[in-house]
Amino acid sequence: MVLANERSFQICARPSLMISDNDPRSSPVLDYLKQLHHTHAEFTGGEVATYIPELAKADPNWFAICLVTPDGQVYEVGDSKQQFTIQSISKPFVYGMALEDNTRSEVLAKIGMEPTGDAFNAISLESDTGRPRNPMINAGAIAAAGLVAGKSMSTRLQRILDTFSLYAGRELTVDEGVYSSESTTGHRNRAIGHMLRNFDIVDGDPTPIVDLYFKQCSISVNCRDLGIMAATLANHGVNPVTGKRAIRGEYVESVLSVMGSCGMYDYAGEWLYRVGMPAKSGVAGGIMAVLPGQLGIGIFSPPLDERGNSVRGIKVCDDFSRHFNLHLFNSPHANKAVIRLQYDGSQINSNRVRGDDEVFELRKSGRSIRVYQLQGNLVFSTAEVLVREIMSDLEDKKFVILDLKRTLEVNESACRLFHQLLLKLSAIGITLIFTHTSRAPMLRRYMKLKLGDRAAELYHAFDDNDPALEWCENKLLSELLPGYQSEYQLAPEQYELFQGLTPDEFTIIKGRLLLKTYRKGSVLVNTGDKALELFIVSKGSVSVVVTLASGSQKRLATFSSGMAFGEMALIDNATRSAIVVAETEVECHVLTVETFDALDDDHPHIKIVLLRNLAHSLSTKLRKVNREVSIFDY
């Protein structure tokens, strides 16, 4: 099945590949994987598994590597399309299903989480409870299969297939030949099933559950599938190629934990020490390794070592981890530069165009609005830096805005700190506001859950900084200016454009204006329209918006009563470059270009005054842009 949104690099590399043949345009990552493949393809150690007769048919020369990133980039070399059975690599995925279908406490009552240091088929049960020590050994995996929900075994199997298919991004099926071979030779696993039944770890006849386990191990995959399945775990449960969720995010850490401590059986300790990635191996020759948040890797090579792990797979993972310093405990230091930029409301205002008295008050008192532009991952260490900075600068503050636009993740520990920060600030009369919260879905859920009935009162969130700034400005101005209203109506003689006209000149120009009305939501001006008139808002407000490359719209300005827009029509006669929409019921006085040009003949002084006022308006807008550029450092 071809996936339309997939981006993939592939080369069928064989041992004869010459590294010097690399395409100079290829990715350095692909080049390195090709080098790894070439280096280890010539290794001939290990033996193909024979205890399941069907597995003995594998070609020991089969060898593939597939690396997948959390944004869906797929790099693959070698026999990446060669089908093989998933075997024990199925265990973490079924364990994840068991967690989703039951509570954690119910699963832990049936299956432990402690490494055994024993082989994969060891009968490691707790002596007093009969509980398997972890879900990665066969006993624990059989118990996990028994916890998968479904009215019948066929329903359970179909759910397992559907879930595995979500992980892989394509429809997967059971290899009936391998299943039959496993079923014929799987007496030890049947014995384990009966022992589990003896301790009530599984309910009812254990035979169908063991049979389900045989089938989950016999699901046919290829190396590419393993890479994508690993990357799905690295991507917090979302398949990075298809964008579909395979497991709820809260259970991914539990799955990765047991993979890290128990996934490689009696080699798990050395694996974690040397490679440092949660992983799972299978006796068909597959290995799947996960570096949370960064990558998933699948390796396929049938020859196994004495512990039942792919010999080439171990070597590839070891080299790869060391080459790129990918050990789980070699994580980079948290970026302390979480605050990209900070400014206040006296420096940057919203895009609502305001009168002189409002501008004056915001210049004087705008420091009470503080904006923090954040970046990177917000985890405990970075959120603590931010909270500390905010708490150290609360003098004269009334509003604190946290801009999340450039953040990559806001995890639960950061959400906890922000919740406590919100309560602390609220208690001293400071409002905490979040913008671009689509970047932090966990934050929205967390705040609403923790605040409960007070969420509507205390949790303030906006899609963009501009409406957040306007909201703060309106609150501030209502305190500073007696009788302040964000919506008002001015008489024509109060319009900015007509300041400086004599009473007679005003009467003349007023008589040449047209009055137009617009309903809320109406489009007054559209992009590409010919510019034939200047508008002056008499009543209500209008917003100038542009459509971004993403398809979303951004507000450039909002004009209210007495303010003019569309003035470029009087200067260059070009087509309109933005959309103007009525935010409310709107009345506008309109001065056409034709009427404006006619002033040259009978009232040139009126035209001079209008041009001077337009120049002043344009100068004010330019100064605002210059101020923003100097602060934002575009």
Residue ranges of the annotated binding site are 88, 138, 182, 189, 213, 265, 283
Question: What values do phi and psi take at 366, rounded to 5?
Answer: -65, -15
Dihedral of alpha carbons 37, 42, 46, 47, sign: positive
Residue 557's nearest CA partner among 540, 581, 573 is: 581
β-strand partners of 8: 74
Amino acid making up residue 284:
A
Are 591 and 585 within 8 A, CB to CB?
Answer: no
Strand, coil or helix: what is 191?
A: helix
Strand segments (E) across 465-583: 514-518, 523-525, 533-539, 542-547, 553-559, 564-565, 579-582
Are 213 and 160 within 8 A, CB to CB?
Answer: no
523-525 and 579-582 beta bridge pairing: antiparallel
d(CA 506, CA 439): 52
DSSP for 317-374 reads HHHHHHHHT--TT-PPPP-S--EEEEEETTT---SB---HHHHHHHHHHGGGEEEEEE
d(CA 232, CA 480): 53
User: Residue 85 has which token pair?
Assistant: 């059975």
- The H or E element spanning position 110 is helix 104-110
Strand order through the sheet with 579-582: 523-525, 579-582, 542-547, 553-559
The set of residues, in sequence order, having a beta carbon less than 8 Å from that of 627 and lying 6+ positions away, is 347, 348
Neighbours of 586 (CB within 10 A): 25
Question: What values do phi and psi take at 256, rounded to 5?
Answer: -65, -30
Q: In degrees to the nearest 10, what's the CA dihedral of 159, 161, 167, 171?
A: -130
Neighbours of 547 (CB within 10 A): 12
Neighbours of 123 (CB within 10 A): 14
d(CA 347, CA 466): 14
Annotated binding site for substrate: 88, 138, 182, 189, 213, 265, 283
Neighbours of 454 (CB within 10 A): 11
The set of residues, in sequence order, having a beta carbon less than 8 Å from that of 453 and lying 6+ positions away, is none
Residue 397's nearest CA partner among 373, 431, 423, 448 is: 431
Q: What is the residue whose two structure tokens read 């297939």? A: 161
d(CA 294, CA 11): 23
β-strand partners of 291: 295
Are 470 and 350 within 8 A, CB to CB?
Answer: yes
Q: What is the residue whose two structure tokens read 């967690």? A: 99
The conformational region for residue 521 under phi > 0 = left, psi -120 to 50 = alpha, else beta, is left
The DSSP symbol for 206 reads H
279-281 and 431-435 beta bridge pairing: unpaired
User: Residue 207 has which token pair?
Assistant: 């035979």
